Structure 1
Amino acid sequence: MAHPLQGAQFALAAHRLNQLPTDQGAEVAFAGRSNAGKSSALNALVGHKGLARTSKTPGRTQQMVVFTLPPLAQGEGAAPLEARLIDLPGYGYAEVPEALREHWKQEIDRYLHGRRSLRGVVLIADIRHPLKAFDRMMLDFCASTGLPCHLLLTKADKLSRNQVMQTLATRRRELADEGVPATVQAFSSPAGTGVEEAREAIAQLLRNAR
């Protein structure tokens, strides 16, 4: 059965912001630490195992990778929406040279602040661990700028159902206490947990007007 992200295709990999497609339409960015399973999550969401490059060595995504989607249907009478997914470079892995880390810190900051077609962020974090400094920085940025954020807690297959539910409740309570209006869900690429829920959340982000 067709789903909102079916038909995603690799478009380009950009080292600088000005190499991205024209700033029009709608796009959702994927962000997360290098070992959180971002590429695997992307592949599961679009239903294409080889679309986003996965590796046993985290941190291989060192460019902004653009995937185009088929035009996204909107409400009755509205023209289909030009849509994209943007895979941001994985953050926080020691093997990435300092100069490259600094380059991406600046480029991602410019991207998040200046990209008009950016409709939301999908933040990937390992459900087994507390949120890291980068995760909280991204959540705080989204909250302060009004950019919608969907927190995808990956590797849920590594925990029992009770542990997953407890962790979900804890994360939601933490975000509510901190005034961060992000949505949160559990996810597992190999088990397929939460895939449909996440697809619908991303489609909704793409349709959001800013």
Structure 2
Amino acid sequence: MSSQSVHFQSARFITSAPDIRHLPADEGLEVAFAGRSNAGKSSALNTLTKQKSLARTSKTPGRTQQINVFSLDDGRRLIDLPGYGFAKVPLAMKHKWQQALSEYLQKRKCLRGLVVLMDIRHPMKDLDQELIHWAVESDLPVLVVLTKADKLKSGARKATLMQIQEALPGFNGDVQVITFSSLNKSGLPDLERILQGWFSLPADEDDQSSTEGSIQS
């Protein structure tokens, strides 16, 4: 895999898949974006790629119901995973989303990093933390992105960031945190820099071992 820089604005939609069996071949490099249904994940993807409607945004949480795949170049992709944790959807649909999310995280061998997006006003919910623990156990780097940073004043924003920074060593892994705003694009250079590093990692020759169990909602 080439270490050439990724041009995020070249992202283009490839497919939506209900599960990993309908995804492109498990080769190359992927970085996945995951987050609660109201965490601003689609807006962050649109900001990163400098495209207004690459990822669909909606005022109705839970709109992302499938695994959305965006090609960056010949072997590197961004993955928009189903939103999780929104209680006001039918239970059967919630379980379906959760199964697709869990299966992808456990079995996809080309995954090189996990971006966990959290509303800065409501960070580190149980499933957010469970996702981070899974990635650490699988030797994957994690980037916690505290979205909607413009919603807090500077003092509160810095206090929340410091609180999360102090909690991260407890995960015993490669976990970083940044604040981010799709509105004023604060944090965008940090996001781009970290993802460039992940996409420069060599593709493994051997299969990455899968994690047992499932992620519970």
Give me the TM-score of the superposition, normalised by structure 2: 0.87
> 2: distance between equivalents of 1:180 and 1:166?
22
The worse-fitting range, judged by mean Cα deviation, of 126-135 and 182-191 is 126-135
Instruction: State yes or no: 1:86 paired with 2:98.
Output: no
Q: Find the partner of 1:168 among 145, 161, 164.
A: 161
The worse-fitting range, judged by mean Cα deviation, of 102-111 and 6-15 is 102-111
User: In the superposition, relative to structure 1, how do residues 3 and 181 fare at CA in structure 2: closer, same or farther (>3 Å)?
Assistant: closer
> How does 1:11-160 map onto structure 2 within 5 Å?
11-71=14-74, 82-160=75-153
> 2: distance between equivalents of 1:130 and 1:29?
19
2:116 maps to a residue whose letter is L
Q: Is the 8 A contact 1:155 1:188 kept in 2?
A: yes
The worse-fitting range, judged by mean Cα deviation, of 7-16 and 101-110 is 101-110
SS of equivalent to 1:6: helix
Q: CA deviation at 1:208?
A: 2.2
User: In the superposition, relative to structure 1, how do residues 177 and 17 fare at CA in structure 2: closer, same or farther (>3 Å)?
Assistant: closer
Q: Percentage identity across aligned positions?
A: 45
> 2: distance between equivalents of 1:3 and 1:193?
20
* Unmatched tracts of structure 1, length 5 or more: 72-81
Cα distance per residue 1:137-169 (max 9 Å; x no partner): 111111111111111000100112222222111
Cα distance per residue 1:28-60 (max 9 Å; x no partner): 110000011000011001110111000011110
Q: CA deviation at 1:96?
A: 2.6
> 1: distance between equivalents of 2:182 and 2:59?
15
Give me the TM-score of the superposition, normalised by structure 1: 0.89
2:68 maps to a residue whose letter is V
2:61 maps to a residue whose letter is P
Structure 1 partner of 2:215: none
2:28 maps to a residue whose letter is G
Q: Is the 8 A contact 1:124 1:153 kept in 2?
A: yes
The worse-fitting range, judged by mean Cα deviation, of 123-132 and 34-43 is 123-132
1:191 maps to a residue whose letter is N
Cα distance per residue 1:65-90 (max 9 Å; x no partner): 0011024xxxxxxxxxx100110010
> 2: distance between equivalents of 1:26 and 1:181?
18
Q: Is the 8 A contact 1:32 1:90 kept in 2?
A: yes
User: What is the RMSD of the two structures over their aligned residues, measured on CA atoms?
Assistant: 1.6
> 1: distance between equivalents of 2:167 and 2:173?
9
> 1: distance between equivalents of 2:192 and 2:90?
34
SS of equivalent to 2:34: strand
Structure 1 partner of 2:214: none
